[in-house]
């Protein structure tokens, strides 16, 4: 680093204990999420928990533990999730922690204007010669907090990839820097089941050469990637991506050559994968990691022709109401960008949105297509927004269909073990047999 930037860096460099001493009792703190969570600083907070009272943390998806949601820190820490994850679902269900529903593209504005955190904590890679760092695998909502939080703490970690685009920030934009190197948590790719392979094939049949795609979270995206190897000139504009896209970009299947905006570039807002993905995005000018309020804004997506969004869900009722982030009263994830992309794709010229899911859950014992959604469940994508529903048994396009037509189309792609039950529910509701 040149002398001027080295001086700035040296002035900002403190220990984790010193950095967290700037957090006051009663403060609201916004935390980085996913693979770039600033775990070193979070550890320091947990080790020093007795020094804090009523500090509230907001955070989206986490890969590992969520110590701030543990009841043992009651009175010291509170946790408010923006996307429930495995390690905090129980705390939310028990009422100890909480969940805040919010469209992902609106999150930065809601955080700034309503939640109003005084402190932000994130990870960055080490600075370059000119003092520029990168937010790495996560820009999402955390990027914009750097513009307005009073205390801006960054963990400088050599394992954070230097991603480009909106991820790049100057060290002088932070108030405290803490050097802690530690490998990023990885989200491994799980081998595909036959059901996922069939879903992947059905989804891929709706993706044409030249389309621009978004892939959601869960088991389905990698199944789709596996089926795209023979497509041409695909674009990628997605809130998140995992390992599955690396080979498609390297082989040129995804080349972004037909995009109306960000031509020749893959645009994402966060990445969720393994070292294979982190190495691929490191200093890669073909990939931009940009703020969620831009990437996920339906009006950004609308500018890209032939946009195909693919997301997943836990339940669809016979009217086409899609439940994706709760199982009954249990908050299992969050709305994330599902509705942002469903609406953006609907606005795109030639655009389509797909909700893809296995037809049954829990080893085939529970139908995901149901007459009515479970008590307590929240509708994520409304029946007015829904377009294609896909299972391993086929494709149902609901847009433009009446209630009866939708129900029939959905019964046809339900798991065969549940079709009779669903047909009876249809008969009860519409006073006639479906077929």
Residues binding ligand COA (CB under 6 A): 216-219, 239-240, 311-315, 324-325, 327, 332-333, 335-338, 361-362, 366, 368
Nearer to ligand COA, 81 or 324 (CB): 324
CA pair distance 148, 304, nearest whole angstrom: 31
Closest distance of CB 232 from ligand COA, Å: 25
Q: Determine the Cα–Cα distance for residues 243 and 187; give it in Å rounded to an integer.
A: 9
> How near is the Cβ of 343 to ligand COA at its closest, in Å?
12
| Nearest to ligand COA of 77, 105 (CB atom) | 105
Q: Which is nearer to ligand COA, 67 or 218 (CB)?
A: 218
Strand arrangement of the beta sheet that strand 307-311 belongs to:
287-289, 266-271, 235-241, 212-215, 307-311, 352-356, 388-391, 394-397
Both tokens of 286, joined, read 């073909």
- What lies within 8 Å, CB to CB, of 29 at 6+ separation is 23, 55, 56, 57, 58, 117, 118, 119, 120, 121
SS3 390: strand
337, 65, 289: which is closest to 185 by C-alpha?
Answer: 65
Cβ nearer to ligand COA, comparing 73 with 388: 388
All residues at 6 or more sequence positions from 435 whose CB lies less than 8 Å from its CB, including other chains: 408, 411, 423
d(CA 353, CA 276): 29
In angstroms, give the least distance from the CB of 283 to ligand COA: 25
DSSP string, 211-276: -EEEE-SSSHHHHHHHT-TT--SBEEEEEEE-THHHHHHHTTSB--TT-SSSTT-EEEEEE---HH
Q: How many CB atoms lie within 10 A of CB 231?
A: 17
With contact defined as beta carbons under 8 Å apart, do 324 and 311 qualify?
Answer: yes
Q: Are strands 330-331 and 326-327 parallel, antiparallel or unpaired?
A: antiparallel
- 32 contacts 174 by C-beta, under 8 angstroms: no
- Active-site annotation holder among 37, 70, 239, 288: 239
Least CB distance from residue 176 to ligand COA, whole Å? 30
179 among known catalytic residues: no
Q: How far is the CB of 400 from ligand COA (least distance, A)?
A: 23
Smallest distance from ligand COA to CB 133, Å: 25
CB of 297 to ligand COA, least distance (A): 15
Residue nearest to ligand COA (CB): 218
Our CB check for ligand COA shows the closer of 38 and 268 to be 268
CB distance 88 to 69 below 8 Å = yes
User: How far is CA 164 from each of CA 72, 168, 180, 182, 267, rounded to the nearest angstrom?
Assistant: 40, 6, 22, 21, 10
Which residues form the catalytic set? Answer: 239
């Amino acid at each position: 680093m040149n002398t001027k930037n080295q001086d700035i860096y040296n002035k900002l460099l403190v220990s984790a204990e010193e950095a967290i001493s700037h957090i006051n009792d009663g403060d609201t703190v916004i935390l980085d999420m996913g693979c770039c969570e600033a775990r070193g600083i979070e550890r320091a907070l947990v080790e020093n928990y007795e020094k804090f009272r009523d500090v509230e943390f907001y955070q989206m998806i986490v890969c590992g533990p969520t110590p701030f949601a543990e009841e043992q820190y009651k009175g010291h820490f509170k946790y408010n999730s923006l996307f429930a994850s495995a390690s905090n679902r129980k705390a939310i269900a028990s009422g100890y922690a909480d969940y805040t529903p919010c469209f992902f593209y609106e999150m930065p504005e809601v955080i700034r204007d309503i939640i109003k955190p005084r402190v932000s904590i994130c990870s960055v890679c080490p600075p370059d010669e000119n003092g520029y760092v990168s937010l790495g695998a996560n820009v999402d909502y955390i990027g914009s907090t750097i513009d307005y939080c009073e205390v801006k703490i960054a963990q400088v970690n050599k394992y954070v990839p230097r991603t480009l685009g909106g991820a790049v920030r100057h060290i002088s934009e932070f108030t405290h820097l803490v050097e802690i190197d530690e490998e990023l948590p990885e989200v491994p790719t799980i081998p595909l089941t036959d059901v996922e392979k069939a879903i992947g094939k059905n989804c891929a049949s709706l993706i044409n050469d030249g389309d621009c795609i978004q892939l959601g979270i869960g088991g389905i995206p990698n199944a789709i990637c596996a089926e795209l190897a023979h497509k041409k000139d695909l674009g990628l504009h997605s809130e998140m991506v995992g390992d599955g896209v690396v080979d498609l970009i390297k082989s040129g299947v995804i080349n972004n050559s037909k995009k109306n905006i960000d031509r020749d570039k893959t645009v994402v807002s966060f990445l969720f994968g393994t070292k294979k993905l982190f190495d691929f995005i490191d200093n890669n000018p073909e990939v931009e990691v940009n703020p969620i309020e831009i990437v996920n804004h339906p009006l950004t997506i609308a500018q890209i022709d032939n946009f195909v969004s693919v997301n997943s869900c836990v339940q669809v009722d016979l009217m086409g109401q899609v439940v994706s982030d709760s199982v009954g009263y249990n908050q299992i994830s969050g709305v994330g960008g599902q509705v942002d992309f469903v609406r953006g794709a609907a606005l795109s010229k030639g655009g389509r949105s797909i909700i893809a899911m296995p037809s049954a859950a829990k080893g085939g014992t529970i139908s995901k297509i149901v007459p009515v959604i479970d008590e307590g469940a929240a509708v994520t994508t409304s029946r007015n927004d829904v377009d294609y529903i896909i299972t391993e048994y086929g494709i149902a396009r609901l847009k433009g269909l009446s209630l009866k037509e939708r129900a029939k189309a959905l019964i046809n792609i339900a798991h065969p073990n549940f079709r009779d039950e669903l047909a009876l529910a249809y008969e009860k509701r519409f006073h006639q047999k479906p077929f």
